[in-house]
Structure 1
Amino acid sequence: MFKLWYQEFLDYLQNIRNYSSLTIVSYENDLKYFTNFIQDHIGSEITLSKLANLTITDFRSLLFKRSQDNFDSNSTRRFVSTLRSLYKYLAEKHSIQNKAIQVLKSPKTKERIPKAIHQADFPEIESMLDEINDHPWVLKRDIALLTLIYACGLRISEALNIRKNDIQHDYIKVLGKGNKQRLVPLISIAKEKLDQYILSIPYSIEGGSEIFLGLRGKKLQPAVFSRKIKNIRILLGLDESLTPHAFRHSFATHLLENGADLRSIQELLGHSSLSTTQIYTKVDYSHIMDVYRKTHPNS
């Protein structure tokens, strides 16, 4: 019985709220964990009435189980948010009320900030891409993709969703979180790498087609590219923070270090909140002190 509402909720998120496929997968994983725990916890099939009667003790037991299963605090915060969204949906659509979920406190999170990539590491990364790629056009693809993420500050999902007609002469149209579109300047080096890649693609791509393709001509998946970056990190002995997202973070950090203001960086990154930009663009204390000494009149 409950599985009907479970799937109904996921369909609502996908079709009405227009959540991305990756977000839907996260919600589904959270709901599977929740249903498995609750069924074991109450010792019977889940029904909507039993969901309504879960107590704060039940939910705390659920969070304790997650801590035993080594989920970090950020993951559990998202998990609690998923449950609140589920209960909000059930209240609106099926008149299911549960006060306990509203007072359940999420665990405090440690601020996780990826490290910016050192400029000296970029040539090594590009050289390693050359070594591990057997197909010349795939090498051009990977270089174009990394250049675009770093030059434009894109999320990996945003970059992989770019279509041919999104690329203009000096800017690129980007579809971000919540289907919000923004225009990002396209600097010459990024445009050059994109043009070289597009000319090398062995498949036909129309104006409305995604440009970043896998070996079989289908849209390149984030996990495939992330694995490649992980392999490069291991081969070069670089910090484990080297991920596709680290190139986006480096974009923001290097702009800030060179005098860009937070508001402009916020617009370029597509952040709805300035506080998010402040977290992502923290720079080394030594750099801040260096700027202070050079610019403060009394230093």
Structure 2
Amino acid sequence: MTDSAFATDDFVRSQIDAWLRDLGSVRRLAPKTLEAYGRDLGQFMAFLSGHMGGPVSLAALKELRGADIRAFMAQRRSESLGSRSLARVLSALKSFFSFLEREGTLATEALNVIRTPKVPHSLPKALTVVEAKRTIDATNELEDRPWVAARDMAVISLCYGAGLRISEALALTRADLETDTLRVTGKGGKVRMVPLIAAVRQTIDTYLELAPFKLGADDNLFRGVRGGVLSPRLIQLRMAQLRSALGLPPSATPHALRHSFATHLLGKGGDLRAIQELLGHASLSTTQIYTAVDTERLLESYTNAHPRG
């Protein structure tokens, strides 16, 4: 929030701080989202301050017009900000002014006339079932230390076999590991229970048998060679090695395994709402993108296999 620190008066600054506290503690936004929202609003306040020639006050915000917001958005676009980032900027502004309205501080119609930039839908690139299995099986072939190989296989198995984000897998503790379920802490601190299939459970058990460290109930499950918490960068590097060894495309990342989990479940008739719960998506619309992925793959198979394709 450095941009807004000198661009607003004390009262507006206090409202910004209260809004950020609300986003973090009540709405439980992810830390990176919270940081981005704060930065976006700070840049907006700096923009307004430049036009006004002084700190932004509540009176100035009451005079806010749609043209002011359009001018700010146009400036950000001229700085090569993409549509997705511009949509986030507008979301941050709307969130702040909605907060002011809920608190009875200020109500404005200026944002109601601003259209959200169109964001192109990029389909997640899933691996095929064969590629996903080969990726997991080949992990042992790239590492001479058995416990490190077992560790990496367990993490990669969790991404594909349980649909976890890499950050979620590396945040797991012994206490999160139950007989047939995992307690997963996702974005915004939301907790969900994810079934643990036997094949994935076996990779974790093998790792725990071979790991040279004693782990308490609250200790992170996956450790680096020096005993510290495993860095996601090491798993990303392992995936890079696997891509090279198996001839996989650059899109074959740990997160692509999570996409593959959802796509393959859907392809086998999995219920969309159940997949939403497993992935920890707040909105069903986020999960629905996988229906497009599955349809695209089906059409590709149809075109390749049909005599008239």
The two structures have a TM-score, normalised by structure 1, of 0.80
Deviations 1:136-190 (A, max 9, x none): 5444333211110110112233323322122111221223345443322211221
Letter in structure 2 aligned against 1:283? D
Contact 1:226 1:243 in 2 (8 A): no
Partner of 2:75: 65
- Residues 194, 83 of structure 1: alpha-carbon distance in 2 compared, 3 angstrom cutoff: same
Among 140, 145, 148, the residue aligned to 2:150: 140
- Residues 105, 134 of structure 1: alpha-carbon distance in 2 compared, 3 angstrom cutoff: farther
Q: Please state if 1:208 is matched with 2:221.
A: no
Q: Please state if 1:33 is matched with 2:48.
A: no
Partner of 1:100: 110
1:47-196 paired onto structure 2 within 5 Å: 47-93=57-103, 95-122=105-132, 123=134, 127=138, 131=142, 137-177=147-187, 179-196=189-206
2-structure distance, mates of 1:134, 1:36? 54
Letter in structure 1 aligned against 2:55? E
Deviations 1:32-71 (A, max 9, x none): 4333433334443233332332221111112112222222
Among 259, 262, 271, the residue aligned to 1:261: 271
Contact 2:138 2:242 in 1 (8 A): no
2-structure distance, mates of 1:212, 1:186? 17
Partner of 1:228: 237
1-structure distance, mates of 2:167, 2:23? 18
Contact 1:145 1:159 in 2 (8 A): yes
Which deviates further from its counterpart, 197-206 or 93-102? 197-206
1-structure distance, mates of 2:222, 2:56? 43
Contact 2:126 2:259 in 1 (8 A): yes
Q: Residue 54 of structure 2: SS of its match in structure 1?
A: coil
Q: State the Cα distance separating 1:288 from its structure 2 match.
A: 4.7
RMSD value, Cα: 3.3
Letter in structure 2 aligned against 1:8? A
Q: State the Cα distance separating 1:115 from its structure 2 match.
A: 0.7
1-structure distance, mates of 2:172, 2:145? 22
Contact 2:139 2:153 in 1 (8 A): no
Contact 1:49 1:96 in 2 (8 A): no
- Residues 138, 185 of structure 1: alpha-carbon distance in 2 compared, 3 angstrom cutoff: same
- Residues 235, 288 of structure 1: alpha-carbon distance in 2 compared, 3 angstrom cutoff: closer
Which deviates further from its counterpart, 114-123 or 56-65? 114-123
Contact 1:115 1:246 in 2 (8 A): yes
Report sequence identity in percent.
36
2-structure distance, mates of 1:232, 1:42? 54
Q: State the Cα distance separating 1:284 from its structure 2 match.
A: 4.8
2-structure distance, mates of 1:32, 1:134? 50
1-structure distance, mates of 2:193, 2:264? 20
Partner of 2:6: none
Partner of 1:24: 34
Partner of 1:297: none
2-structure distance, mates of 1:216, 1:14? 33
- Residues 256, 40 of structure 1: alpha-carbon distance in 2 compared, 3 angstrom cutoff: same
Q: Residue 283 of structure 1: SS of its match in structure 2?
A: helix
The two structures have a TM-score, normalised by structure 2, of 0.78
Q: State the Cα distance separating 1:8 from its structure 2 match.
A: 2.8
2-structure distance, mates of 1:70, 1:240? 25
Which deviates further from its counterpart, 53-62 or 224-233? 224-233
Q: State the Cα distance separating 1:286 from its structure 2 match.
A: 5.2
Letter in structure 1 aligned against 2:18? E
Q: State the Cα distance separating 1:128 from its structure 2 match.
A: 6.8
2-structure distance, mates of 1:28, 1:216? 36
2-structure distance, mates of 1:242, 1:36? 40
Q: State the Cα distance separating 1:76 from its structure 2 match.
A: 1.8
